Structure 1
Amino acid sequence: MFLTQTVPRQRDIVEVLFRNGWDYMRRVLTGAKADDPQLPPPAVLKNILVDLGPVYVKLGQLLSTRPDLLSGPYIDELSTLQDEVPAVPWADIEVLIRKQLKRPLEETFAIINPVPVAAGSIAQTHRATLADGREVALKVQRPGIDLTVAQDIALIQGIADLVARTEFGQNYEIKAIAEEFTKALEAELDFTREAGYTDQLRRNLSESKWYDPSQIVVAEIYWDLTTEKLMVMEWLDGVPLLSSKFNKLENAEELAAERQAITTLLFRVFFQQLYIDGFFHADPHPGNLFYLRDGRVALLDCGMVGRLDPRTQQILTEMLLAIVDLDAQRCAQLTLQLADSRQPVILARLENDYDRMLRKYHNMNLSEINFSQIIYEVLQVARNNKIRLPSNMGLYAKTLANLEGVARGFNPELNFIDEIKPLLTDLFRRQLFGDSPVRSLLRTALDLKSLSLQSPRQIELLLDRVTSETLQWNLSLRGLDGLRRTLDDAANRLSFSILVGSLIMGAAIISSNPRSDQLSFLNNVLFAAASLLGLWLIISILRSGRLR
């Protein structure tokens, strides 16, 4: 059992769970009979993750992207988790950097600041200058973190195995969720993957019809110096967007105009990522959005990204419109289209839940509505109806929530509808006509021409088959297999009943006037056969449970 093992890390986890008073997990870990699973209060869960250490803080940050699994209070609490940890001494960091470089450290860098500008659970960042004078940022993996992550991943999977034995674990596929989280943690240990994400995002944002690409910056990666444990990238000099240092313009009107321009830029940049590129920066919190000294805006830390396929993009675009229209029926239909599985859902109940959820916004001004909160509530309604949505829906909702939160904090005059209305209009135009309306029109014209040429011949063939009586209809109706089996069973039982009755009637006729020993023997055989068949028929009916 879990508690009898002597691995120190396991004992530490058990002590933390017991100390914070999570009674349900106490019973699971001790092998006692557990009641219906209950999560600890949001603040307690946060404290447990903080006490368990940096890897579990990262796990909490990943959980904060899953509003389809957790309710709003948990998402809000876990979103405040920061993986700020004491910095690793420079001597240890220097050893790791030297191992990752192909050339001597002194020949590669002119200067490296030994004091980190940021320190996290997985890595810490130092400012440096290359030998050719270029300013760079070094993201260096914490020595030994890969072993710590491997141990904690094994323990997370062990706990998931325990919880998976409960009804709660089976309903929410806890083992699959644990596997998803552990893969995300393992991916963060490979900086070449994050570097690839950064490069792809940089390429995607370099072209747009919605904004000036020169106003948005993603750091350039220096691939000749980047490895799995060391990422070297362009140094971007600026301040966080919500920093009090953002006061470049003294004139209040100019400052307000600048804030509005940056707000519009951010919405257009992220809407392009979400609804056009299908590849998006999934962690736009205030620390990852920088205002550079030259007036541009930078996106930092591309380690967490999300992907949306074209079909999902189209559904989510329509979902935004349904939310704007407060259309509960359409929200329910679109949710079912997003669902991972075809499990039975009571559509009327789902529509009623959405109607109750949206009704409270009927009398509100659209400019006052928090749309990211509505999207969270949409996912929670789906969760309450046991509808499993793809995991990227959590990242999508979290991205919109972070974006709207930063935008409202940066620009209190934000009007969400005014920002997204032109973008939605253009998105629906793209869905109808594509990027090239002329090309789409020509393709449609060719399709109509082909249809007009083929239609007379097809109609002639149809009429010919109707008049010659060779037309056949092949119908396939779903859900009739059960009815067909029931009818087959009923027909078989009726046939057996008729057979039993015939045997009994034949035996009775023979027994009324037996003339020989052979007829008496036949009479007994018929009665025996009828008795056996009748008994079998009665037993089969009783076993089916349909004797009424």
Structure 2
Amino acid sequence: MSNTPDKIRRYYKFIRFMLKYWNSDLFRQTSSVAFEGGLSEEDKEHQFDQTPDELVEDLKAMGPTYIKLGQLLSTRPDLLPDEYLQALANLQDNVTPVPFEEIKEIIEEELGTKISKAFKVFEEKPLASASIGQVHRAELNSGKPVAVKVQRPGIVKQFMEDLETLDEMTAMAVKHLETAQTYAVDEVFAELRRILINELDYKKEAQNLKTLKKNLKQYEHLLIPAPVDDYSKTRVLTMEFVGGKKITSLSPLRQMENDFSELVEDLVEAYLQQIINDGFAHADPHPGNIKFTESNKIALIDLGMVARFTPQLQENLIELLLAISRSNGEKTAQVLLKISELNEDSQKKQFAKTVSDVIMESENSRAKDLQTGRILIQLNRLAVTTHIKLPVEINILGKILLNLDQIVAMLDPEFDLRAAIQRNVHEIMRKKMLEELKPENFFGTLIESKHFIEKMPERMNRISENLANNELKIKIDAIDEKRVTDGFQKVANRITLGLIIAAMIVGAAMLMQVPSDFTIFGYPGLAMLFFLLAAAGAIVLSYVIIFRDENLNNKN
């Protein structure tokens, strides 16, 4: 993919970054929190070797892929101190803008026309500049205000080269480091690679906007900008312009003057609907991707990262969310174990006990405590340490809820998220069941029933014929036939031997009454021979039963 000098340069850049932060107390604290959970007050006030601004600048120097990693890290308040999170959050929209001439060239190449013909107005100064692209405000020829998202020049090539380096380093780490194997860093990287590559195609984001707008059309407090198809290509995305501010910039006065409980209720219900009903969710609701409009509505403006949940997983997530919301630790552990991959090293009992403890400790927490998403992330870490592999969707769900917790806490710190989950899950389940009862959803079942009915007469005739000819056979794979027949043979042999021994003892007793010149120990010899043979057989049989029997020796 790239020549040797470029690869050496990228390896050097990566290794230099790792050497700088590997032995720093910031990295050690991050690792400790990731594996043990929680920051002590002493750690929160600790002065680290590298300042927040230094970390940001180092990531910027590493390039767009690492900037994206920093963005993902900024959404994890459970890992880093607040000042570092705030510095990394600036990576969301404070990246150096691309000169307008380069942006203009990309737009004209993608749209196949001059920018002056495509737009009535196009502002050269970007509204925001991120690692993959930047956003400009413009007006269509119809006068409709739009936001135009333009990909940075050469970004695909840079991403693919950095991903190649990370892929090779990850494979090497998994091969040689036990920690990397335990925490499946190769799978984590594979998921990151998939997310980043999808974000490089703006046509996919346009389709995501359409899907989410359709799915959430009933929520009047939520806005999803619609894409403009004729002006959206792989590297250019044009969508409706939504005014407003980042939700993190909401003033305390505005919070005091307004009751946002109804808005928060809509937001929570909308995300639960996405997860457990639609199976299609906005996977990155961090404050940088959420706008708060002047009309007190919430706008979801970035759909580059989405999560998909299968119907079976949706049902399991319903059980999981209800169990957590009811502080039912035992049920939470049962659901997680049901959907996990287990092996001989899995510590199921320890996992179940610790899960129950975690759920019980988090009871009665409110939105301002940021508990719901943190619990799922903590359970993910616990699963890793007990050699239990949870589906990657559980970690995605934890990330969604963790970010949702932050937004809910800003709007209504006393909002009871657990009660809202119970209330909304029941309502969404009711709607889901009504949806499934619609006639069009029965077509698949009707087709299967038709096939079943068509085949039934033929199958019944075949069974009746075989039964009449004494040719009906039933094969049961659940039973080891050889083991069963061997067991019966063993029982039959022992019963037979027991009967022979008993007959020999009875015969010996009867021969004791018959006088004989041949004696053993003063008793009739033939009677004593039968008795001794019976005694020897009984001893051997007893030894086999007590010491050689497979069931007794393997008794648990």
TM-score strictly above 0.5: yes
Whole-Å separation in 1 of the counterparts to 2:190 and 2:326? 38
1:451-492 CA distance string (max 9 Å, x none): xxx9xxx9xx99xx9xx99997754448x79x96xx99xx9x
Residue identity in the other structure for 1:332: A
Which residue of 1 is the match for residue 222 of structure 2? 216
Contact 1:289 1:299 in 2 (8 A): yes
Which residue of 2 is the match for residue 204 of structure 1? 215
Among 211, 227, 235, the alignment partner of 2:233 is: 227
Relative distance call for 1:147 and 1:418 in structure 2 (3 A) is same
Which residue of 2 is the match for residue 350 of structure 1? 351
Whole-Å separation in 2 of the counterparts to 1:44 and 1:389? 35
Contact 1:112 1:128 in 2 (8 A): yes
1:240 matched to 2:246? The reply is yes
1:354-373 correspondence to structure 2 within 5 Å: 354-361=355-362, 364=364, 370-373=371-374
Which residue of 2 is the match for residue 54 of structure 1? 64
Which residue of 2 is the match for residue 261 of structure 1? 262
Which residue of 2 is the match for residue 500 of structure 1? none
Report deviation, 1:62. 4.4
1:299 matched to 2:332? The reply is no
1:148 matched to 2:158? The reply is yes
Whole-Å separation in 2 of the counterparts to 1:174 and 1:318? 29
Q: Which runs of 5+ in 1 are unaligned?
A: 24-37, 492-545
Relative distance call for 1:366 and 1:432 in structure 2 (3 A) is farther
Contact 1:222 1:232 in 2 (8 A): yes
Residue identity in the other structure for 2:67: V
Q: How many residues align?
A: 441
Whole-Å separation in 2 of the counterparts to 1:174 and 1:311? 26
Whole-Å separation in 1 of the counterparts to 2:144 and 2:441? 47
Contact 1:332 1:347 in 2 (8 A): no
Report deviation, 1:313. 1.2
1:275-354 correspondence to structure 2 within 5 Å: 275-340=276-341, 345-354=346-355
1:52-451 correspondence to structure 2 within 5 Å: 52-62=62-72, 72-73=78-79, 81-82=88-89, 83=91, 84-166=94-176, 167-206=178-217, 208=218, 211-212=219-220, 215-244=221-250, 252=257, 255-256=258-259, 259-340=260-341, 345-361=346-362, 364=364, 370-429=371-430, 435-436=436-437
Report deviation, 1:231. 0.8
Which residue of 2 is the match for residue 524 of structure 1? none
TM (norm. structure 1) is 0.69
Task: Give me the identity figure in percent.
Answer: 25
Which residue of 2 is the match for residue 539 of structure 1? none
Report deviation, 1:216. 2.1
1:501-536 CA distance string (max 9 Å, x none): xxxxxxxxxxxxxxxxxxxxxxxxxxxxxxxxxxxx
Relative distance call for 1:161 and 1:276 in structure 2 (3 A) is same
Relative distance call for 1:323 and 1:40 in structure 2 (3 A) is closer
1:317-344 CA distance string (max 9 Å, x none): 1112212333232222211222246666
Report deviation, 1:434. 5.8
Contact 1:139 1:232 in 2 (8 A): yes
Whole-Å separation in 2 of the counterparts to 1:304 and 1:75? 25
Contact 1:109 1:128 in 2 (8 A): yes
Report deviation, 1:174. 3.2
1:339-365 CA distance string (max 9 Å, x none): 246666343222212223234245x46
Contact 1:317 1:424 in 2 (8 A): yes
1:450-465 correspondence to structure 2 within 5 Å: none
What's the Cα RMSD here?
A: 4.2
Relative distance call for 1:332 and 1:420 in structure 2 (3 A) is closer
Whole-Å separation in 2 of the counterparts to 1:21 and 1:438? 60
Contact 1:22 1:40 in 2 (8 A): no
Relative distance call for 1:88 and 1:361 in structure 2 (3 A) is closer
Identify the structure with bigger relative contact order (alpha carbons < 8 Å, sequence gap 6+): 1
Report deviation, 1:240. 2.3
Whole-Å separation in 1 of the counterparts to 2:478 and 2:235? 57
Whole-Å separation in 1 of the counterparts to 2:282 and 2:241? 19
Report deviation, 1:4. 10
| Local SS of the residue matching 2:137 | strand
Report deviation, 1:238. 1.7
1:519-534 correspondence to structure 2 within 5 Å: none
Report deviation, 1:155. 0.9
Contact 1:361 1:369 in 2 (8 A): no
Report deviation, 1:19. 2.8
Contact 2:370 2:405 in 1 (8 A): no
| Local SS of the residue matching 2:299 | strand
Whole-Å separation in 2 of the counterparts to 1:130 and 1:44? 50
Whole-Å separation in 2 of the counterparts to 1:104 and 1:440? 48
TM (norm. structure 2) is 0.68
Contact 2:370 2:406 in 1 (8 A): no
Residue identity in the other structure for 1:292: T
Contact 1:326 1:358 in 2 (8 A): yes
Q: Which runs of 5+ in 2 are unaligned?
A: 25-29, 35-47, 491-552
Whole-Å separation in 1 of the counterparts to 2:203 and 2:74? 25
1:528-548 CA distance string (max 9 Å, x none): xxxxxxxxxxxxxxxxxx9xx
| Local SS of the residue matching 1:387 | coil
Report deviation, 1:431. 6.6
Whole-Å separation in 1 of the counterparts to 2:397 and 2:185? 21
